[in-house]
Chain A
Amino acid sequence: MSTLENATNDPIIVCEDVHKWFDDFHVLKGVTTSFRKGERAVICGPSGSGKSTFIRTLNRLEEHQRGKIVVDGIELTNDLRNIDLIRREVGMVFQQFNLFPHLTNLQNITLGPIRVRKMPKSEAESVALALLERVDIADQAEKYPAEISGGQQQRVAIARALAMEPKIMLFDEPTSALDPEMITEVLDVMRELAHSGMTMLVVTHEMGFAREVADRVLFFDEGLIVEEAAPAEFFDNPQHERTKLFISQTLQH
């Protein structure tokens, strides 16, 4: 079912023994994994397992305290220039959308290209409009985020991240704050993105999406990757007790 057709063998993200503490709380207890270019990985696990924290360390929204993270050949350290370089290559979509409320949807998208990539305004706007077209809300360009629905806001947020032409897209529970009828429209956009060959790391509870789109499912528990496998194997033949329990609980409803 899920093939690795657009995933190459070159790793684009490499994590070795990544640790993270919030004060005394040990959130990540040595995560070691890597992601290939074009791979679509779904990260799941119970809340508090460290899965969100993990993908937030990949663009340095959270700092890891031990271990090594290399993104697109650049190691994440305290060097601000490296962090800026990596953030240009890594787009992120948040659970709470985090659109800029004082800017129109179009301005939300063009801000990064104009200010960071120094793209001329007219060019940035035509790129933004094309992206809004791609996420199917071109008619909302001149509205403010507060004037559109949650699903539409999340699609603008996806367009905003895509406008920077990232090599990797991180999704941090992109549908968790949405009403059920809006989840589909966001998942459709993500599905389309996955088919276009984008490298995607998605933290989500949408198991149907994982089964359909992912090349690999990673299961987090208590700060560690407990199990990782292709979705068919992950869902139909889980190895670990903790994974079995989680799958039986999430598939019940």
Chain B
Amino acid sequence: MAESEFTQEIRPPKNTIGVLPWIKENLFSSWYNTLLTVIALGILFFLLKGVFTWAFTEAKWEVIPANLQLFAIGAYPIAEVWRVWIVLYTVCALIGLSGGIWGGLTLRFAVGIGGCGIVCAFLSMGISTLGWAIRAWVLGGVALLAALLFLGTRSVSVFPKIRRWVLVGWLLSFPWTLIMLRGFGKNAVLTTNWGGLLLTLILAAVGICFCFPLGVLLALGRRSTLPVVKWVSTAYIEIVRGVPLITILFMAQIVIPIFMSDNIRLDKVLRAMLGITLFSAAYMAENVRGGLQSIPRGQYEAAQAVGLNYPLTMLFIVLPQALRSVIPAIVGQFIALFKDTSLVTIVGLLDLLGIAKTVIANPDWLGLQAEVYIFVAAIYFVFSYSMSYVSQRIEEALGVGKI
């Protein structure tokens, strides 16, 4: 007890400088600093004044709520929208369950998604033209998420294998989403009608989830001692990295059908997914390779000495450390991929940006480019920043740079 009094840490003295002295010291310390401050403030004032006057008096934001459905799902027929809701509910259920089971960061993510849903359902009341039905759907999704979250927290002790099943569920959610959105028979919604944010998110999700394992395999391949594997991986990575994404998308849309027989017709969206995934995998491989190079030789030797073979060494020793050290680069690649999906506009798919272009081209909304593009940019930013935020939290949770 008495000891702790002596060993108590002494904190550095508090910074006692107030606001005014700080301003004086940092902004007006000499005549030229004063001059610079005044000029900067002046420029800032005129810029902000321009932006605010435009945003609050001149801009015609009506274009956004009036076309909200287009932005969200493109030309997806309204009678079949229930399919989209089912897909969203599936994802909500999986997020809730995962949050409940794994806790920690996953739990916070699930709660965050739920919070966003509630905000969407209530905050925009009065501003947006969101119908009551949509609000009800959203709240229903949040309720489902919350219920499964609760169920998840309880299920682990009763049914320990549930973790494995939820992972399987996540894997199955990809084919499930595609099948559900498309449907069969005369009510089938062809992928040419998929659009807006829905298409952007599907392209990005498929790209992110499949380019990652592919990239890891390519990175391991490039470092392999087997000459053929090494040569093929290196050639693939270098060729793909030497070609712009647009070229690959064009090749996927135009060149592949030439080589394929007429009875096999790959779906247009599927071809775009393939192009994006294969393109990103090459970059992902190089990111992962950077992480692999940072693992000292002693780790491999220790793993071998314990008796682990190559796959086990990679899976349990090398990759966990290598990937952890390159999380920022990997998430950067994910964000780039998410934004790059906007290039599919060029091959005739109407993703979020494509829809923006069609809205602007509509005679009813002529001359409203600025409003539409700002809105679209804001959506891209929200998703990209969320990814960046989550990656920072993951880095913290895994203690990157701590050891």
Contacts and interface: CB of A to CB of B under 8 A. Distances in A.
A83 B302 CA distance: 14
Given A100-B317, A102-B321, A164 B307 contact: yes
Interface string A132-160: 00000000000010100000000001001
A108 to B, nearest CB: 9
Nearest to A61: B301
B312 A144 contact: no
A160 B320 contact: no
B358 interface: no
Q: Is the interface of B mostly helix, strand, loop or mixed?
A: helix
Contacts of B260: none
A101 B321 contact: yes
Nearest to B402: A146
A111 interface: yes
A98 B302 contact: yes
A51 B82 CA distance: 72
Nearest to B312: A115
A94 B298 contact: yes
A31 B402 CA distance: 44
Nearest to B403: A146
A98 B295 CA distance: 11
B304 interface: yes
Contacts of A96: 298
A88 B305 CA distance: 8
A60 B305 CA distance: 9
Interface in A71-117: 80, 84, 87-88, 90-92, 94, 96, 98-102, 111-112, 115-116
Given A99-B302, A111-B316, A116 B403 contact: no
Contact of A87 (B299, B304, B317, B320): B304
Given A98-B298, A100-B299, A102-B324, A87 B312 contact: no
Contacts, number: 61
Give the bracket for the number of chain B residues in contact with chain A.
10 to 19
B29 interface: no
Interface string B384-403: 00000000000000000011
B309 A100 contact: no
A146 B308 CA distance: 22
Nearest to A100: B317
A161 interface: yes
Contacts of B402: 146
Contacts of A161: 305-306
Nearest to B306: A112
For chain A, the bracket of interface size reads 20 to 34
A88 B307 contact: yes
B302 A87 contact: no
B296 to A, nearest CB: 8
A171 B303 CA distance: 16
A164 B307 CA distance: 8
The residue in A96, A100, A157 that gathers the most chain B C-beta atoms within 10 A of its C-beta is A100
Contacts of A88: 307
Contacts of A164: 306-307
9 contacts: A61-B305, A84-B309, A87-B306, A92-B301, A111-B308, A112-B308, A116-B306, A116-B307, A164-B307
A59 interface: yes
B169 to A, nearest CB: 24
Contacts of B298: 94, 96, 98
Interface string A150-192: 0000000100110010000000000000000000000000000
B257 to A, nearest CB: 44
Contacts of B309: 80, 84
A59 B305 contact: yes
Contacts of A160: 306
B305 A92 contact: yes
Contacts of B304: 59-61, 87
B403 A101 contact: yes
A116 B324 contact: no
B226 to A, nearest CB: 13
Contacts of A61: 301, 304-305
A161 B306 CA distance: 6
A102 B320 contact: yes
Interface in B277-304: 298-299, 301-304
Nearest to B398: A102
A112 B306 CA distance: 6
Scoring A60, A84, A90, A102 by chain B CB atoms within 10 A of each residue's CB, the highest score goes to A102
Interface in B143-198: none
Contact of B403 (A84, A98, A144): A144
Contact of B305 (A80, A91, A101, A146): A91
Interface in A21-74: 59-61
Contacts of B320: 102
Contacts of B307: 84, 87-88, 112, 116, 164
B342 to A, nearest CB: 37
Given A100-B317, A101-B403, A102-B320, A111 B301 contact: no
Given A87-B307, A164-B307, A100 B302 contact: yes
A94 B297 CA distance: 12
Contacts of B324: 102
A59 B317 CA distance: 19
A96 B299 CA distance: 10
